[in-house]
Amino acid sequence: MIARRDRPGTFYLTLASAIALTLVYLPPALDVFRPYWVALILIYWCLESQALVNLGKAFIIGLLLDLLGGSLLGLHALSLVILVYLVTRFRARLRFFPPWQQALSVFALLLNDRIILLWIISLRGDPLPSFGFWLPPIVGTLLWPWLFLLLDRVRGAMRRRTSS
C-alpha cells in the first residue's frame, strides 16, 4: 500500500507544466481560449490524491501564479483556495460521478471561479469584460475528460517506476 502512494514529484511536475502552459505565448486570437490550467490540475490532484493538495498549498500556488503573471497579488490565491475548498468538500461525491457528470461539475467550479474574478474586476472599477471572458471554463470543461485520462496515465507510469 505504501509503495503505491503518489510521489509529490509527479504533482509538482504536472503543476509546473500547467504554469508553463499558462505563461506560454499564444497568438492573440487563441489567447482567449486558454483554459485555467492550474485549476484543472489542482482539481485532478484534489480528487485523486488529496494528501498532496491542501488550502495552504493552493494559496501559495496562487501567489506564485500572481507573481509570474503580473496580476493583482492574491487574485489567483483567492480563486484557487476557494476552488480547492469546494472540491475537498464535495470530493466523496465528485469522485464517483461518471465522466460527463464530473465534467459538468468541473464546469460549475470553473464558472464559479470566473464569477469571483468578475466580482474582483468590478471592485477594481474595471469595465466588464467581453464575451471572451466566459470561454475558458467551456474549453476547460471540454478538455477535462481527456486531461483526466492523460493525468491518470502519467500518474500510473510514475507509480510503477517508484514501486519497481
What is the contact surface with another protein in residues (CB under 8 A)? 19-20, 22-26, 28, 31, 34, 50-52, 54-59, 62-63, 66-75, 77-78, 81-82, 85, 88-89, 117, 120-121, 124-127, 129
In the complex, what is the shortest distance from the CB of residue 106 to another protein, in angstroms, rounded to a whole number? 20
> In a 3-state reduction of DSSP, which class is residue 126?
coil
Q: Which residues have C-beta within 8 Å of that of residue 56, sequence separation ≥ 6?
A: none
Say if CB 82 and CB 37 are below 8 A apart.
no
Q: How far is the CB of 158 from another protein (least distance, A)?
A: 19
Please name the residues in contact with 19: beta carbons below 8 A apart, sequence gap of 6 or more.
Answer: 37, 38, 64, 65, 68
C-alpha cell at 80: 484557487
If the CB atoms of residues 104 and 118 are measured against another protein, the closer one turns out to be 118
C-beta of 26 vs 150, nearer to another protein: 26
Report residue 67 CA to chain centroid gap. 17
Q: How far is the CB of 12 from another protein (least distance, A)?
A: 14
Nearer to another protein, 14 or 103 (CB): 14
CB of 91 to another protein, least distance (A): 10
Q: How far is the CB of 99 from another protein (least distance, A)?
A: 25
Q: Which is nearer to another protein, 99 or 129 (CB)?
A: 129
DSSP label at residue 34? -
Residue 23 vs 157, nearer CB to another protein: 23
> Alpha carbon of 70 to those of 9, 23, 63, 73, 80: distances in Å?
26, 11, 10, 8, 16
